[in-house]
Structure 1
Amino acid sequence: MNNSIYGGAMPAQSTEAAAAPAPRKAAGTQCGSRPIFLVGMMGAGKTTIGRQLARQLGREFLDLDHELEARCGVRVSLIFDIEGEEGFRRRESALLQECAQRTDIVIATGGGAVLAEANRRCLRELGLVIYLRARGDELYRRVARDRGRPLLQTADPRARIAELLAQREPLYEEVASLAVETGIMPVSQVVQSLIPLLQKHEAA
């Protein structure tokens, strides 16, 4: 079997970015033009919240994992199977560095994107970072049945989530400009709570 998922250079055109143009910014929600990055554990709501936040801000939205899958033509779980986590992380880092150069965009990063120092530096220096925080039990409830999560294919996924959260939470906090609890709050309320926080941060 070929050990490479995607042999040549990645296409420059983003599949999600190639969709309909971003809507006009709603009045009072402008937060500068640099990227907004969402970080946090799997199941924290980065994709769902990110999509609605982008709509509110009149920005494009891009999910880094989905974009990687679109470019490689296979699921993240298969990239893990063939290239291992190390191979996946290399691809993730290259894509993050590319997409971080764009403006007026909300980017949902993968849960492990903060593991590489180069990625953390990229997030801190090129954009505004929002940490979506959730407790281990809530994360487990959301993702326990998701077979597309390669890091959870263990005998005790609850313990694995706790282990990953302990490892990654200090890194999320290190890069975060803002943090918000997702918990059981409806997505719309989370997004509405973020708007004034973003405005305040940009005005500081």
Structure 2
Amino acid sequence: MQIIDEAKNIVLIGLMGSGKSAIGRTIAKMLGRRFIDTDRLIERKSGKTITEIFAEQNETSFRTLEKEIIKRISQYVGIVIATGGGAIKDPENFNYLKQSGWIIALYASPETLYKRIQGKRVRPLLLEKEDPIKALEEIDNERKGMYAKADFQVDTEDKSIDEVAEEVISLLNLKAETIKN
């Protein structure tokens, strides 16, 4: 029985490798919702990869595009959104997302995150880092305060994509029941 408020978006935040995109796609499929990955939208809009934007322009250019995208998609209803890892560094982005739905922070240990991202898309904030695990710890510490403002925190350590997706849906069902009673 689905009791999730259909108008509210489900927004996934967390560090790179936390599973936002894979889990978001799975949640969307399970609930019959549209899925939007903000990083992929930025790449489509700019015609460049995230790495190219960081290299050819800078992080500020990327964050400007990201804010535009987040502001626009926050006006949609009933979608599942996977943000880029640093999207919530800007409090305005967090507020846009928060007003549109539930925010779920996904997390795992830096060691697990690093294992998950090895050999995948190049991550601009980890390029040229001597100790990527330490870099992930530093990024996590920098963003921890914003992640703590999420409606829910979900540990993805040692869990399958389906397990985490089901946990998120279960948490939201409980939240929706509380709101409706």
Superposed, 1:56-67 pairs within 5 Å as 56-67=30-41
Superposed, 1:46-125 pairs within 5 Å as 46-125=20-99
Give CA deviations for 1:121-171 in whole Å, capped at 9, x if unaligned: 112222110111111111111123345111111222121111101111221
Provide the TM-score with structure 1 as the length reference. 0.82
Q: Which residue is 2:143 aligned to?
A: 168
Larger Rg: 1 or 2? 1
Counterpart CA distance in 1 for 2:118 and 2:145 is 23
Counterpart CA distance in 1 for 2:118 and 2:2 is 39
Structure 2 alignment gaps of length 5 or more: none
Which is worse superposed, 103-112 or 137-146?
A: 137-146
Counterpart CA distance in 2 for 1:192 and 1:61 is 16
Structure with higher helix content:
2
- How many equivalent pairs are there? 177
Counterpart CA distance in 1 for 2:121 and 2:25 is 23
Runs of 4+ in 1 over 4 A off after TM superposition: none
Quote how far apart the aligned CAs of 1:112 are.
0.1
Q: Percent same amino acid at aligned positions?
A: 34
Structure 1 alignment gaps of length 5 or more: 1-26
Residues 53, 117 of structure 1: alpha-carbon distance in 2 compared, 3 angstrom cutoff = same
RMSD over aligned CA atoms reads: 1.3
SS in 1 for 2:57: helix
